[in-house]
Structure 1
Amino acid sequence: MDPIVASAATALVGAMVTDAWQDVHTALVSWWRRVCPQQADSVDAELEQSRDRAVAAHRERDTDAESELVAAWEDRLAELLGENRELADELRRLMERDIAPHVHHEHVHQDTGNRAGTQEVHAEASGNARVFIAGRDQHIHEP
């Protein structure tokens, strides 16, 4: 899968729970209407349904539901892009300009691709405590 697809899907689902959702939604539907007009209305409706699910998942801290939404949008975007590198480049620009800046970076989504944006983590240990921090999966094996 193209890394931009995974990044865009993750950023899109992250943006669904922000105050900027309407701007992100409008930008994505406008782009979709230009590159694949016959699908734009159904994508518009799917985005609204996905937003309702994302808000509920966020409220309930249901990372599985968020991951399912990311996977669904990865599939949808991958289907649209196919092997068209020009569309992938357009999606990258759209994501960088209109989606990623609105994502709250404290929301962590389990995904299978690259993330857009940055995260800042602070940890403090005292006494004999230890802190383990990872950007993705972490496996610690101790005797």
Structure 2
Amino acid sequence: MATDAWQQVRAGLVEWWGRARPEEADGVTTALEESRDGVLAARRVHDAGREQALVDDWQARLHLLVRENPALVGELRCLLDEHLTPVLPVWEQTRVGSIVMKATASGRGRVYQSGGDLHVSEQ
């Protein structure tokens, strides 16, 4: 939300949202602008908690929308992969994505999995 490519990102998300819920397109535009202002303000004062709260809010909105209409998942993935993620700075692109991990342990076996840093200390 704080990148120079904001107009492209906003337009893509509003267009996608408008196909799912046309009656909400204008409201989403306004909400995105307000959230962007909030992200920029939070970054100016180094308020990571406030910025994360805005991210969490949009994740919840998107989750609700695709939970109500699972057919939108593919379109959202396409929007993220082809239009939104590429305009992020490289260091932020690594934060976007999905990880699927499966593991099986039996007997006395142990499984340690992580999508990021992992530190295991055993005695």
Give your verdict on TM over 0.5: yes
Runs of at least 4 residues of structure 1 off by over 3 A? Answer: 105-108, 134-141
Flag structure 1 segments of 5+ consecutive residues without an equivalent: 1-15, 109-113, 118-133
CA distance 1:33–1:106, shift in 2 (3 Å): same
Aligned to 1:84: 69
Flag structure 2 segments of 5+ consecutive residues without an equivalent: 98-113
User: Where do residues 35-74 of structure 1 align in structure 2 (5 Å cutoff)?
Assistant: 35-74=20-59
Choose 1 or 2 for highest CA Rg: 2
Separation (CA, whole Å) in 2 of partners of 1:74 and 1:24: 15
Give the TM-score, by structure 1 length: 0.63
Amino acid of the structure 2 residue aligned with 1:24: V
CA distance 1:105–1:68, shift in 2 (3 Å): farther
RMSD: 2.5
Separation (CA, whole Å) in 2 of partners of 1:137 and 1:69: 24
Amino acid of the structure 2 residue aligned with 1:79: L
CA distance 1:58–1:105, shift in 2 (3 Å): farther
| Higher alpha-carbon deviation: 48-57 or 32-41 | 32-41
Separation (CA, whole Å) in 2 of partners of 1:56 and 1:106: 20
Give the TM-score, by structure 2 length: 0.73
Amino acid of the structure 1 residue aligned with 2:60: D
**Identical residues among aligned pairs (%):** 43
User: Where do residues 1-143 of structure 1 align in structure 2 (5 Å cutoff)?
Assistant: 16-106=1-91, 115-116=95-96, 136=116
- Bigger relative contact order, structure 1 or 2, given CA contacts below 8 A and separation 6+? 1
